[in-house]
């Protein structure tokens, strides 16, 4: 969305001469040959670009594996409001590079997922009984006062999915908001509801057969369950709208409970490494299974461009799970299942290096040796030769939005993106990393947008940033 999309459309192809076509393909940084292997790892907290150079918009997501490929479903968002904009489907062989497949479920002409409604947390499972793919979601009004769980079905995994309306239990809709899904080893499907409710689906996955577990606590939003051996782990968040909190979990040896409340998923105070859980994907390999926490780092109003994903490896030991460290970049082998932390960037340029970094506008030396600015349009620019560039900065309570652009040697903008430098607590972290580019000369610019992420919930509580600050710790370059 924020990359100048260099994909050639059919009309252009038809009217383009072969010589011009070759020129266009070689001058575009996301030509087909370059798209492959653009990312070598899972990078949390930065925008990801898909095979067409558009930002990956799949929030409140889930992943299912089908015939050796991973399919990611999530909420598509806009940068202006929270209206349902469709559920997206992407696919990947390696969990690093995502191909945009379709809008799996578009905005409906009218009804519960029609214009100016809310659609959240799509979860897809394949029904073993019918072979159909069934998607579940939270449908609501923009003010969150008409919630219920709906479902949609498709013959093919990528869709299009046909919206079927409410999922019924005893003939009545489930009027609840945050939901998740879980498929057990025996193929039975379950719907999870905030507060800890669990419902078992009927054999055709199109209605609820049984209430398995009643509400056990208040809050406990964004519910997700995974199973290792005979233990079920039930993860959820506190109720703080899109603001992050310390997510926690319960364990049990049966979905019926009794569930035992355990502790936080990540070290207390990290606010689940600044994210909210949505799903756990077991990456099953020949050597081990890595349980991957999938979580959202929301950013209202710029949920399309500036909200990112936090995917981390969960350490599991008996009834205890944790994400003790935040891995900015890591690899997981889809063959062996083994996870490995990797380093970001080959060469680091410190913010004081005036030979490489040109500042414009008012910048100051700040806490933790970062340089920061909060004046609109203040910027820093780096001219470099290489294949990839990124930067780290201080995300903080007064952090705002930054505009990131990349120009080629001819001065043409080939990438433009908005990132969010807000965090409720100050933390030095990777904020941006470009896709891999053809080796060449580029100009990288980051500027203060003069806007910030903030919002209020339906109880009129105010959340988000108190300033527009953008800061730079280091620029990293790959040659």
Sites of contact with ligand GLA (CB under 6 A): 60, 120-121, 178, 221-222, 241-242, 276, 457
Of 98 and 242, nearer to ligand GLA (C-beta) is: 242
What is the dihedral angle through the alpha carbons of 451, 5, 50, 131, rounded to the nearest 10 degrees?
Answer: 120
Of 97 and 241, nearer to ligand GLA (C-beta) is: 241
Of 53 and 464, nearer to ligand GLA (C-beta) is: 464
CA–CA distances in Å: residue 427 to residues 48, 421, 424, 430, 471 = 21, 10, 9, 10, 11
Cβ atoms of residues 79 and 418 within 8 Å:
yes
The residue whose Cβ lies closest to ligand GLA is: 241
Of 276 and 478, nearer to ligand GLA (C-beta) is: 276
CB of 241 to ligand GLA, least distance (A): 4
CB of 280 to ligand GLA, least distance (A): 16
- Which three-class secondary structure state does DSSP give residue 24? helix
Q: From 310, 298, 179, select the one nearest 241 (Cα to Cα).
A: 298
CB of 59 to ligand GLA, least distance (A): 8
CB of 347 to ligand GLA, least distance (A): 38
CA gap 352, 350 in Å, rounded: 5
Cβ atoms of residues 431 and 46 within 8 Å:
yes
* Torsional sign, CA 267, 272, 274, 280: positive
CB of 140 to ligand GLA, least distance (A): 8
CB of 178 to ligand GLA, least distance (A): 5
CB of 346 to ligand GLA, least distance (A): 37
Of 62 and 394, nearer to ligand GLA (C-beta) is: 62
Cβ atoms of residues 444 and 379 within 8 Å:
no
* Torsional sign, CA 390, 396, 399, 401: positive
Of 86 and 393, nearer to ligand GLA (C-beta) is: 86
CA gap 378, 13 in Å, rounded: 40
Cβ atoms of residues 173 and 139 within 8 Å:
no
Q: From 63, 204, 217, select the one nearest 129 (Cα to Cα).
A: 204
CA gap 466, 469 in Å, rounded: 9
Tell me whether strands 388-395 and 364-365 are parallel, antiparallel or unpaired: unpaired
CB of 107 to ligand GLA, least distance (A): 17
- Which three-class secondary structure state does DSSP give residue 370? coil
Of 121 and 371, nearer to ligand GLA (C-beta) is: 121
CB of 227 to ligand GLA, least distance (A): 22
CB of 457 to ligand GLA, least distance (A): 5
Of 237 and 405, nearer to ligand GLA (C-beta) is: 237
Q: Which residues contact 430 (CB under 8 A, 6 or more apart)?
A: 43, 45, 46, 328, 329, 344, 390, 391, 392
CB of 259 to ligand GLA, least distance (A): 20
CA gap 104, 57 in Å, rounded: 12
Of 120 and 197, nearer to ligand GLA (C-beta) is: 120
CB of 4 to ligand GLA, least distance (A): 31
Q: Which residues contact 11 (CB under 8 A, 6 or more apart)?
A: none
Q: What is the 3-state secondary structure (H, E, C) of 264-329?
A: ECCCCCCHHHHCEEEEEEEEECCCCEEEEEEEEECCCCCCCCCCEEEEEEEEEECCEEECCCCCCE
Of 60 and 464, nearer to ligand GLA (C-beta) is: 60
What strands, in cross-sheet order, belong to the sheet with 231-237? 221-228, 231-237, 248-252, 260-264
Of 35 and 138, nearer to ligand GLA (C-beta) is: 138
Of 101 and 243, nearer to ligand GLA (C-beta) is: 243
Q: From 21, 37, 153, select the one nearest 99 (Cα to Cα).
A: 37
């Amino acid at each position: 969305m924020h990359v100048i999309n260099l994909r050639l459309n059919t009309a252009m192809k038809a009217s383009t001469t072969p010589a011009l076509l070759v020129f266009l393909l070689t001058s575009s940084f996301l030509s087909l040959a370059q798209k492959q292997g653009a990312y070598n790892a899972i990078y949390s907290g930065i925008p990801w670009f898909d095979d067409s150079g558009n930002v990956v918009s799949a929030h409140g997501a889930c992943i299912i594996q089908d015939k050796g490929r991973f399919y990611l479903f999530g909420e598509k968002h806009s940068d202006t409001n929270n209206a349902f904009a469709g559920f997206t489907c992407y696919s990947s062989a390696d969990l690093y590079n995502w191909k945009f497949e379709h809008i799996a479920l578009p905005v409906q002409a009218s009804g519960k997922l029609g214009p100016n409604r809310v659609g959240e947390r799509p979860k897809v499972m394949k029904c073993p009984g019918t072979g159909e793919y069934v998607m579940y979601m939270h449908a609501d009004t923009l003010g969150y006062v008409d919630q219920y769980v709906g479902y949609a079905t498709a013959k093919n995994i990528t869709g299009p999915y046909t919206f079927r309306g409410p999922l019924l239990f005893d003939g009545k809709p489930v009027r609840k908001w945050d939901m998740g899904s879980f498929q057990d080893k025996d193929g039975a499907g379950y719907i999870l509801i905030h507060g800890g409710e669990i419902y078992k689906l009927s054999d055709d996955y199109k209605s609820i057969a049984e209430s398995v577990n009643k509400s056990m606590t208040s809050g406990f939003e964004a519910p997700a369950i995974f199973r290792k051996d005979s233990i079920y782990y039930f993860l959820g968040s506190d109720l703080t709208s899109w603001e992050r909190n310390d997510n926690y979990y319960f364990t049990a040896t049966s979905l019926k409970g009794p569930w035992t409340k355990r502790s936080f998923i990540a070290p207390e105070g990290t606010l689940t490494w600044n994210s909210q859980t949505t799903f756990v994907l077991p990456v099953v390999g020949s050597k081990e299974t890595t349980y991957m926490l999938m979580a959202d780092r929301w950013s209202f109003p710029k949920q399309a461009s500036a909200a990112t994903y936090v995917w981390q490896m969960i350490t599991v030991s008996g009834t205890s799970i944790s994400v003790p460290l935040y891995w900015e970049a890591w690899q997981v082998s889809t063959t062996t299942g083994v996870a490995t932390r990797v380093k970001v960037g080959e060469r680091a340029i410190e913010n004081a290096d005036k030979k490489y970094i040109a500042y414009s506008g008012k910048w100051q030396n700040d806490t933790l040796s970062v340089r920061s600015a909060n004046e609109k349009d203040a910027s820093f620019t780096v001219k470099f030769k290489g294949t990839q560039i990124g930067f780290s900065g201080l995300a903080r309570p007064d952090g705002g939005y930054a505009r990131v652009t990349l120009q080629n040697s001819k001065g043409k903008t080939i990438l433009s993106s908005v990132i969010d430098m807000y965090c409720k607590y100050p933390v030095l972290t990777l904020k941006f990393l470009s896709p891999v580019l053809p080796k060449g000369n580029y100009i990288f610019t980051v500027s203060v947008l003069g806007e910030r992420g903030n919002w209020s919930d339906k109880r009129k509580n105010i959340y988000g940033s108190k300033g527009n600050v953008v800061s730079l710790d280091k620029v990293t370059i790959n040659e």
